[in-house]
Chain A
Amino acid sequence: MIYFPFFLFAFSLPQEVTEPQQGSVQLPRSPSLSVAAKPFPVNATDLAYGENLWRETGCLACHAPSGIASLSTRADVQSLAEFLGGSPPSFGVARSFPHDFGLDFEEAIALSAFLLRSQYVSAEEAPPQPGLAWECYEIQIEEGSLPSIEGKEPAAYGTTDFIGVDVRTRDNHFLLRFQSKLFIPEKGDWTFHLGSDDSSWLWLDGEQVIRNEALAPMRVVSETRNLSAGFHLFEVRMTEAAGEELIELKWEGPGFPEPIKIPTENFQVQREALIPPPFTPDNPRNLGAPNYRAMLETGDSVADRMQRDGCLSCHTRSGRGGLPEEARIAFVGEEDLGFEGQLPPSLDGVGHRLRESWIRGHLTGAQRARPYLRARCVEMGEEEANQWANLFADTDATADDDKDPVSSESSVERGQVLAGNQGKNCIACHRVAGQDGPAIQGMDLAIQYERMKPDWFLEWLESPAVHRPGTRMPTFWPLSDRTSQADREALWAWTALGAAMPLPEGLVADADAYDLEPGQRPLLHGCSLSGLSARCLAVGTPKRTHYAYDLEHLQLRWLWRGAFLNVEGTWRGRNLVELSPAGMDHVVLDSAFPFQLPGAPKAEPHLLGWRLDSDGWPLFRIQLGDVEIQDTMRSRWTAGGSAFVRTLRVIGGAVNVNLPAGDGVRLTPASSFLLQDGDSQEVVYQW
């Protein structure tokens, strides 16, 4: 957990503060911050997290496991984190790291903190800093009065900028304690407003000033004390039994006529931190040019180019490259998948194995097939990704290797059986459309149509061990079995449905975890949906292809495939939480209202209701002026996935229809048309 965002240091703190200036200051400041460098608060958890990132995300492919010792004299946390995170350089660093590994802010900070760990100074040795020390005790709270913490160990502790419940380790039955020195900028009457749900207490210089005891929703108790200028010992505790929890402290006094939160600078605490050496014009920050292991290759083969760009630091191709031993040991992932679950794959023949579009998407970071690999592959721009994808395709592809074998409905069914636990039991090691399997969570089968070329899919299934010695993938069919080609093609036909693939035997939705899965009929769930409205109807269909209708704005808004919904947000506890789709391929259609009366003044649409046909498919009825619009959706499987067929019908007059699209959604035959009274029109949604 990172406690201090940069900006607090970068912009709000003076480098040298002596005494607060009486009278003239708007926001009084603590006088104690006479530190030359900017300490960065850390704790052991941050450093351990950073070390894990260092070992596991792939740094060891190029760097020594111990880190880069000289960095501690050349960088501070924020400049190094910006460098690693690819932010525009600002702290005197002229360039950023040449590879974008998609580190987020928190990761870049933690990794930097680990690399600079020799700058560590413990709390006892550290100069005072703005903030408060906190402790969280996990104790059973049954009443409003102050429980004793005598002899108890806190479940967690640290330092923080503000008093709040976000540092709690659990939601019920806890006590939070905040301790600090409070700087009073001016002698006078200071009023403290302490609000909490449930109880809270405030002490100043050891005297109990506020006792706000009740097992009740938020309530505020205010007390005034005449205080001298300077530091006062400060402590606040709060307890929470169950339900909502909240604590808020405000003050008012000379210079603070309105109650506000006490500024962080007015609290002073010693906190452990990384303190860099002072950087001066003579000793600037210095993140120098990288010293790559091998940039000597001059050839122009694919492997030569991969080596130049660093790809062969992890991957192998044409017998070259691969990881150093210490990195192989450090890399982690899904242990049960063996080396395939931990190490980046070989890229031999990758242009024959994978579709060009998938390689492109992988390289930009838009889609990744192995979420369990902790090692990160680089993320590059569209243009560069495209060049690589073209290069692999040109070099490796064979004639017609992306041509689908002929399939039928019955082969889909056969494939579904083979994938299940009554067949070849693919689900034992693979996820299916975002759903975890019973044992090992290997690569999701729903993405394979988009990812693999059909020829390679069939070759791979026929003899995995030949293509990848040591693989965990079983050889399901003896080479002599001449009928097995039909089985593999059936698996391909089933795989080709993408996330709309029917669930194989052996995978069940977890009703205890609030997962809804449609059966033979469409399944309806009325709920609040994220980004739409609090009045929506989500419809799950047996083809594992789903949609959501916003009943507040009378529009079809979401399409998705795979798992339908996890409805914990509607069905658990009291809080109504907006839901998001559970599955994959989620698209949001634009929100423009699609129906208009030709030439007529704008009419307000109204919901007339919805009907269900004998199979349970809903038909929505919308009134616009004197016209009734009937809107129904049916899902169907198509080559390479599934589609919705939307049927619109109008009764009582003509309607101009202008159906909004969404990212990657194709509407055929048309999205705009005029419907005459009594007419209906089918529109196919593909995405």
Chain B
Amino acid sequence: MVIFALSFLCIQNQEADYFEVIDFVAPEEVVLEVGGLLPLEDALLIATRRGEIWRVDDAFGSKPIFSLWAEGLQEPLGLLAHEGWIYAMQRGELSRMRDSSGDGRMDDLETVADGWHLSGNYHEYAFGPTLAGDGSLWMTLNKPFGGEPFGRAPWRGWALRAQADGSWEGVAAGLRSPAGVRASPWGEVFFTDNQGEWCATSKFTAVVEGGFHGHPWGIDSCDLPSSRVQHPGEIPDGGTVNEAAAAVPGYQLPAVWIPWDLLGRSPSDFVWDTDGNFGPYRGQVMVGDQYSAEVFRVSLQKVAGRWQGACYPLRKGLKAGVSRLAWAKDGSLWCGMTTRGWPSLGTATEGLQRIRWTGKTPFELLEVRAVPQGFQLHFTLPVDSVSIVLEDLHVRSWTYHHWSTYGSGPVDEAAHSVEALKLSADGTQLDVTLSDFRPGFVYEISAPGLIAPSGQTLLHDTAWYTLLSIPQE
């Protein structure tokens, strides 16, 4: 009854109150299928899937000025400024470019690294590069999909690391469609992967050197001299991901499983908010989704030497599937979009928008952290203790199949009863004690009844935590 009464007092709020989406209008003749976004001191460079790089001046104005900086690249899906050059990842090579004459057009392209070959399949996308802490450049290569028209090229489904001299090695295998690859602020490289065969649901995770991330397509390349991965042997088709992790040498469970259709379907690029551009979420990761036209959040926690963490909704309603993210100098987030070749929510098929924090703090699950007896929920604003009801906190867990079938639904699903709840004195931290706390499972934590003293309900009441290990203290 109390809850019923309270819900009358709840204040309806929406994402747009906290994160506004600002449209960007490109010239009509430019097809802005964004593959790479690179804000420079004085301009914005945009690589398109059509192989162009546009220089955009006055990008924040109502009439941005476009000039063609380069063309003829093969589906560049990443840009990086490094040592005076503009690096771009093409399908078949990592290149770096410059405008040596200063006439506003690229005139010198150097092939930095190549040799992983293409079989000609559309899905052989190449992503990167990102600059790791040790100065090396990392790239990720998709495996082919939807028919194999021209043969079977090596190194597909790999993360590669190139040195300044262009030599490179295969650092990790078993990736499927790693559409985002970025070094963290501390220099360690992470990637997102997209659900499909041998990839039960999408992932956000660190590239583990020598690791096998689950997809067997490219594992024959383990036997090539440049591989840093031991061949994992026969990969069992079936069973759970936890069974695969126990049975397959080098098998890596992801830091964060992103449950399919509960939070997007196809994650792409991601950026850390190191500067607090998005207010309370400083230190967290913003991730774009190519299907759901949204940006969501990821938080990380290191337990027993491995990253694990949680994912949370942030902002839906962009105009198309999000492919690339980059912080603009005013602290807003450029969202580059393209949906050519896959379904997406939204009203457009390509383009560019920005998400800007309005400065207001939403009432949100700021972070879920694992503790020995359960979870610690942190909130952006204090929780009204009146709204805390044991039965109204829902916790479920599940795992996934590891198999050749496209995607997996939840497996070994269980509902957990909450044994105790304890709210901190300042109201921003809620300790949740669970019965039957199982490592290796994804936990869905849902708290629909909570409100802030002001009457606000949670903007999003659910998060998903991937519990690889239970912290000992």
Partner-B contacts on A (CB < 8 A): 216-217, 219, 244, 511, 523-528, 533-535, 537, 539, 551-552, 570-576, 578, 606-614, 616
B74 nearest CB neighbor, chain A only: A526
Q: Which of B98-146 contact A (CB under 8 A)?
A: 101, 103, 105-111, 114, 117-124, 146
Chain B contacts of A551 at CB under 8 A? Answer: 92-93
Least distance between B385 CB and chain A CB atoms (Å) = 46
Least distance between A287 CB and chain B CB atoms (Å) = 43
Least distance between A528 CB and chain B CB atoms (Å) = 5
Report yes or no: A608 in contact with B74, Cβ–Cβ below 8 A: no
12 A-B Cβ contacts within 8 A? Answer: A525-B72, A534-B91, A539-B72, A571-B31, A572-B340, A575-B146, A607-B111, A607-B114, A608-B111, A609-B108, A614-B103, A616-B105
Report yes or no: B51 in contact with A533, Cβ–Cβ below 8 A: no
Report yes or no: B340 in contact with A216, Cβ–Cβ below 8 A: no
Contact of A524 among B72, B101, B342 (CB under 8 A): B72
Chain A contacts of B107 at CB under 8 A? Answer: 611-614
Asked whether any CB of chain A lies closer than 8 Å to the CB of B429, the reply is no
Asked whether any CB of chain A lies closer than 8 Å to the CB of B8, the reply is no
Least distance between A279 CB and chain B CB atoms (Å) = 44
Q: Which of B61-76 contact A (CB under 8 A)?
A: 71-75
Least distance between A197 CB and chain B CB atoms (Å) = 10
Least distance between A246 CB and chain B CB atoms (Å) = 9
Report yes or no: B72 in contact with A537, Cβ–Cβ below 8 A: yes
Q: Which of B315-345 contact A (CB under 8 A)?
A: 340-342
New contact pairs (19) apart from A609-B95, A614-B103, CB-CB < 8 Å: A217-B146, A244-B147, A526-B51, A526-B72, A526-B73, A526-B90, A526-B91, A534-B91, A534-B124, A535-B92, A537-B72, A573-B341, A607-B111, A609-B110, A609-B111, A612-B105, A612-B106, A612-B108, A614-B107
Q: Considering the complex of A and B, which 7 residue pairs feature the smallest CB-CB distances, nearest first?
A: A574-B341, A524-B72, A526-B74, A535-B92, A576-B122, A534-B118, A534-B120
Asked whether any CB of chain A lies closer than 8 Å to the CB of B152, the reply is no
Asked whether any CB of chain A lies closer than 8 Å to the CB of B60, the reply is no
Least distance between A75 CB and chain B CB atoms (Å) = 41
Chain B contacts of A570 at CB under 8 A? Answer: 50-51
Report yes or no: A575 in contact with B122, Cβ–Cβ below 8 A: yes
Least distance between A512 CB and chain B CB atoms (Å) = 11
Chain B contacts of A607 at CB under 8 A? Answer: 93, 111, 114
Q: Provide the B29-71 mask, 1 if CB < 8 A to any CB of A, else 0.
A: 1010000000000000000001100000000000000000001
Report yes or no: A535 in contact with B405, Cβ–Cβ below 8 A: no
Complex CA–CA separation, A614 to B102 (angstroms): 11
Least distance between B349 CB and chain A CB atoms (Å) = 11
Complex CA–CA separation, A63 to B344 (angstroms): 60
Contact flag A217-B341 (CB < 8 Å), given A576-B120, A612-B105: no
Contact of B150 among A527, A534, A614 (CB under 8 A): A534
Least distance between A464 CB and chain B CB atoms (Å) = 41
A526 nearest CB neighbor, chain B only: B74
Chain B contacts of A244 at CB under 8 A? Answer: 146-147
Report yes or no: B120 in contact with A216, Cβ–Cβ below 8 A: no
Complex CA–CA separation, A613 to B75 (angstroms): 23
Chain A contacts of B108 at CB under 8 A? Answer: 609, 611-612
Complex CA–CA separation, A608 to B109 (angstroms): 8
Chain B contacts of A574 at CB under 8 A? Answer: 122-123, 340-342
B340 nearest CB neighbor, chain A only: A574
Least distance between A514 CB and chain B CB atoms (Å) = 10
Chain A contacts of B123 at CB under 8 A? Answer: 574
A242 nearest CB neighbor, chain B only: B343
Report yes or no: A534 in contact with B92, Cβ–Cβ below 8 A: yes
Complex CA–CA separation, A627 to B71 (angstroms): 28
Report yes or no: A216 in contact with B406, Cβ–Cβ below 8 A: yes
Chain B contacts of A217 at CB under 8 A? Answer: 146, 406
Report yes or no: B120 in contact with A528, Cβ–Cβ below 8 A: yes
Complex CA–CA separation, A537 to B122 (angstroms): 17
Least distance between B26 CB and chain A CB atoms (Å) = 16
Complex CA–CA separation, A534 to B114 (angstroms): 13
Chain B contacts of A216 at CB under 8 A? Answer: 406
Q: Which of B92, B103, B110 has the most CB of A within 10 A?
A: B92
Report yes or no: B93 in contact with A614, Cβ–Cβ below 8 A: no
A218 nearest CB neighbor, chain B only: B406
B122 nearest CB neighbor, chain A only: A576
B405 nearest CB neighbor, chain A only: A219
Report yes or no: A571 in contact with B71, Cβ–Cβ below 8 A: no
Q: Which of B200-251 contact A (CB under 8 A)?
A: none
Contact of A535 among B109, B118, B342 (CB under 8 A): B118
Complex CA–CA separation, A574 to B107 (angstroms): 29
Report yes or no: B110 in contact with A608, Cβ–Cβ below 8 A: yes
Complex CA–CA separation, A217 to B31 (angstroms): 29
Complex CA–CA separation, A522 to B225 (angstroms): 40
Complex CA–CA separation, A537 to B111 (angstroms): 14
Complex CA–CA separation, A641 to B240 (angstroms): 67
Chain A contacts of B342 at CB under 8 A? Answer: 574
Complex CA–CA separation, A537 to B105 (angstroms): 18
Report yes or no: B50 in contact with A571, Cβ–Cβ below 8 A: yes
Least distance between B34 CB and chain A CB atoms (Å) = 15
